[in-house]
Amino acid sequence: MFGIFKRKSEKERLEEKFKKLMQQWHQLSSINRAASDEKYAEAQEIAKILNRMNSEAA
């Protein structure tokens, strides 16, 4: 109930953005290969940031 007022952390926002980019990449993969590659590259940059965040936390 009180989760509605909770602000999302940077990590949660990045994870959502990564998931959204991967969905867009998959949809574009059969339609527009160049746009698909751009989305995949963006998603990989976010994945690198998330990996750094995870390794710093450990």
Q: Where are the beta strands (DSSP E) in 1-58?
A: none
For residues 47 and 22, the answer to whether their CB atoms sit within 8 Å is no
Residue pLDDT, tens place only, 7-54: 888 999 999 999 999 999 999 999 999 999 999 999 999 999 999 999
pTM assigned to the model? 0.83
Domain limits of the chain? 8-57
